[in-house]
A and B are shown apart, each in its own frame.
Chain A
Amino acid sequence: MDYRTVLTTCPYCGSGCGMYLPVLNGKLGEPIPAKTHPLSQGRLCIKGWSAHEHVASHDRLTKPLVKTGSGFKETTWDEALDLVVTRLLELRDRHGPDSLAFLVSAKCTNEENYLQQKLARAVFGTNNVDHCARL
């Protein structure tokens, strides 16, 4: 049996409540509020209590998809990434770096946001970087 509880941060609002997530043999359980957490002090709101639920949703994407004439079809990572890279570079070379735009995300980590803006600026050469959070 592999049972652990892992301390993490609620994925929903910006209050930053702390929670432990229990996991038994790879299956996620319900959040347990972190008692000593300075911000949430052992409490969560209804969104926090159900934070784990969407993770196991049947709607989760599990394979890269490419659009074809008859809708999406599953593909390999290699093919999907190859297409992304070819098309983005082609557009940049043909129309200049500012013909591309990148959205980072208020739902992603600092590390991911740092990398996404680094990709936009250092690799593609554009400052067209934003996210939906001013909204």
Chain B
Amino acid sequence: MAGLATAFGSGAMTNSIPEIEDAECILVTGSNTTENHPMIGSRILRAKEKGKKLIVVEPRRIHLAQFADIHARPRLGTDLAWINGLINIIFAEGWEDAEYIAARTEGVERLREKVAEYPPERVEAITGIDREMLHEMARLYATADRAAIVYAMGITQHTGGTDNVLALANLAMVTGNVGKRSAGVNPLRGQNNVQGACDMGGLPNVLTGYQSVTDPAVRKKFEQAWGLRSGLPAKPGLTVVEMANAAAEGAIKGMYVMAENPILSDPDANHTREALENLEFLVVQDIFLTETAQLADVVLPGSSFVERDGTVTSTDRSVQRMRKVIDPPGEARADWEIICEIARRCGGQGFRYASPGDVFAEMARLTPIYGGMSYERLENEWLRWPCRSADDPGTEFMHKDRFSRGKGVFTPVDYREPAEEPDEAYPFMLTTGRIMFHYHTGAQTRRSPSLEREVSENYVELNPQDAHGLGVHPGELIAVASRRGSIQVKAALTPTVPKGVVFIPFHFAESAANALTNRALDPVSKIPEFKVCAVSVARLVTL
């Protein structure tokens, strides 16, 4: 997010989901799309069916890879090198869109100099991608009339994640692929309302619609609208991983967690647990007694998705209604009512709403990119933000004639090695992710009989050659350990993972992958390095 916002002035998917199937070339990286976003995955397959080109850059042999024109398998954590390498080839071959670069962007000279440091030989040495394959990737992507990049957390969950995104933005702008239909740079969000949680100011540095807390005019507007006598805080707050660190050190003393399960979703689960245990007071609002709720002093029963009204914003900026179908069970309540009641009991003004529609109307008045939306319009129209006024039809693809920030800016970025490299004691690289049948920390999906039937147990993917070397049999329970913790998990032998790499899904509390992962943070986005860390793999009993 931080990367795209720097380049274009906005961090969301630039194009809409339906456009994807008409891209001439689609570059998918760091996204196991058919498993994690199946309906977007099927758009990509439909593009393939229409004869479009597909490039997949992914260390694992994911499902989509078998349909790709090119499947490149870079070493884990080396994305920046191949992306810079592609841009270098594009300049060398004269495939850049010179007119677009001149009219719409700034900083191309510094980019040209930087990528010149990434000749194909060097890129091949770093990434393991064959230089001819790299050249062919550059040609397919750059010579396509409309080329789309699709990425997910495989790109952002690294200490260099923000740089990776900046590099992809560079690649797209060099070829004039931002601001037109069926092209763009498209981050796929993992959960139903990640986009909306960000849009609504669920971030430490911005109020709704990415209005900065450091801007006095913005604060004044909200202070007036909310009827506050004292001023809003001007200093950006802590991110979730920083909160855990601050809690462990005793600087954060109380926490209110709404429908999140940081023990399973944060890196280094043991540390997160210790941090939460160190709090003087923890309140958790959820529909299940999750691993995090078990640590709470007070647990408030909230509502599931069918038990309250509201809206969510999909990964392509479409705002849609969620509708109440049934009442919550027992004494459970709608989450919006619980928050309002807490606010009122604290003496907070302006927390009396008749319905979520009223909340939406207040939010829209204060949020320019949602300014033209209302429940009435959402009944009859399909609206994607930005939608600034009542007659604004919303925005299918962004940055059409100009970028949100004016000109698109090239930021030259350099490859850095992952924070933790394999060594003698921890010779394997671990990468984590989601699988098709479960969702995030599994709190909901693991209570779903049909999903639990498909995959009810955690596993570690291990290359058969590595397994042979270790004497590990299929299905055997083995130990995977990092510098931070160790778990026992069943071995699944599969060439999906390259030699020297293991993959563990993170949905399972009983053998949590995040007990192993690294808390090292990307310096800008503060996203932890989930995707790469060094581990050892061993049999439990050596016969």
Complex Cα spacing A114 to B362, Å: 10
> Which B residue's beta carbon lies closest to that of A135?
B265
User: Are B42 and A43 in touch, CB under 8 angstroms?
Assistant: yes
Q: Do the beta carbons of B238 and A52 come within 8 Å of each other?
A: no
Which chain A residues (77-95) contact chain B, with CB distance < 8 Å?
77, 80-85, 87-89, 91-92, 95
- Number of residues from B at the complex interface, CB < 8 A: 143
- Say if the beta carbon of A47 comes within 8 Å of chain B: yes
**A135 surroundings in chain B (CB, below 8 A):** 153, 157, 240, 265-267, 527-528, 530
Q: Does B192 contact A (CB under 8 A)?
A: yes
- Within 8 Å CB of B240, what residues of A? 103, 130-132, 134-135
Asked whether A84 and B283 contact (CB < 8 A) given A39-B316, A106-B194, the answer is: yes
Interface residue? B323 (CB, 8 A): yes
Interface residue? A69 (CB, 8 A)? no
**Contact partners of B233 in chain A: CB under 8 A:** 97-98, 121, 125-127
The answer to whether the Cβ of B208 comes within 8 Å of any Cβ in the partner chain is yes
Contact residue among A39, A49, A110 (Cβ-Cβ distance under 8 Å from B313): A110
- A4–B243 alpha-carbon span in the complex (Å): 44
Complex Cα gap A62–B299 (Å): 10
Q: Which residue of B lies closest to A117 (CB)?
A: B201
B299 and A28 contacting across the interface, CB-CB below 8 Å: no
**Residues of the B chain whose Cβ atoms lie less than 8 Å from the Cβ of A111:** 310-311, 336, 356, 359-360, 363
Task: Give the CA-CA distance A30 to B437 in the complex, in Å.
Answer: 17
CB neighbours of A112 from chain B (8 A): 258, 310, 335-336, 339
Hey, which chain B residues are within 8 Å of A40, CB to CB?
Answer: 39
Chain A CB within 8 A of B351 CB: yes
**Which residues does chain B contribute within 8 Å of A52, judged by CB atoms?**
306
Please give, as numbers and ranges, the residues of chain B lying within 8 Å of A66 by CB-CB distance.
297-299
B260/A117 in contact, CB under 8 A: no
If the complex has contacts A52-B306, A88-B256, A111-B310, are A130 and B326 also in contact, measured as CB distance less than 8 A?
A: no
Q: Does B287 contact A (CB under 8 A)?
A: yes
The answer to the question of B108 belonging to the interface, with a C-beta cut-off of 8 Å to chain A, is: no
A9 touches B320 (CB 8 A): yes
A38 vs B306: C-alpha distance when bound (angstroms): 21
Give the dominant DSSP class at A's interface: mixed
Inter-chain contact A15/B39, CB cutoff 8 Å: yes
- A13 touching B253 in the complex, CB below 8 Å, given contacts A65-B299, A77-B331, A113-B200: no
7 contacts between A and B (CB under 8 A): A6-B306, A14-B193, A46-B437, A67-B297, A104-B202, A114-B363, A116-B258
> How far, in angstroms, from A120 to B198 measured CA to CA in the complex?
15
A54-B445 Cα distance, complex, nearest whole Å: 7
Most A-side CB within 10 Å, residue of B266, B335, B351: B335
A38 and B445 contacting across the interface, CB-CB below 8 Å:
no
Of A39, A100, A118, A119, which one neighbours B18 at CB under 8 angstroms? A39
* Count of interface residues, chain A, beta-carbon cutoff 8 Å: 97
Return the contact of A10 from the options B192, B197, B331 (Cβ within 8 A): B192
Count of A-B contacts judged by CB separation below 8 Å: 432
Given A99-B253, A101-B238, A135-B528, residue A47 in contact with residue B451 (CB < 8 A): yes
How far in angstroms is the closest Cβ of chain A from B165?
Answer: 12
Most buried by B among A39, A101, A102, A122: A101
Q: Is A45 an interface residue (CB 8 A)?
A: yes
A83 CA to B296 CA, complexed, in Å: 12
A80→B189 CA distance, assembly (Å):
34
Q: Considering the chains assembled together, what is the distance between the CA atoms of A135 and B202 in angstroms? A: 14
Q: A14-B195, A122-B228 are in contact. Are A62 and B331 (CB under 8 A)?
A: yes
Give Cα A40 to B314, complex, Å: 12
**Within 8 Å of chain A (Cβ to Cβ): is B100?**
no
Among residues of A, the one whose C-beta sits closest to the C-beta of B288 is A59
Task: Assess whether B305 is in contact with A8, with CB atoms less than 8 Å apart.
Answer: yes
- Cα distance A117–B254 in the bound complex, in angstroms: 15
- The answer to whether B348 and A119 touch across the interface, beta carbons within 8 angstroms, is yes
| A107 x B237 contact (CB < 8 A) | no
What residue of chain B has the Cβ atom nearest to residue A52's Cβ? B306
Q: Is the CB of B251 within 8 A of A116?
A: no
Bound form: Cα–Cα A46–B438 in Å: 10
Q: Does the CB pair B189–A100 fall under 8 Å?
A: no
Q: Is the CB of B321 within 8 A of A104?
A: no
Question: With a CB–CB cut-off of 8 A, which chain A residues contact B307?
Answer: 55
Residues from chain A with Cβ under 8 Å of B38 in the complex: 13, 15, 45-47
Write out the residue numbers on chain A whose beta carbons fall within 8 Å of the beta carbon of B280: 87, 91
Q: Which 8 A-B pairs have the closest CB atoms?
A: A62-B330, A16-B314, A109-B310, A127-B237, A45-B38, A104-B202, A14-B315, A14-B189
Q: Shortest distance in angstroms between B1's beta carbon and chain A's nearest beta carbon?
A: 7
Contacts of A15 in B (CB 8 A): 17, 37-40, 314-315
| B495 at interface, CB cutoff 8 A | no
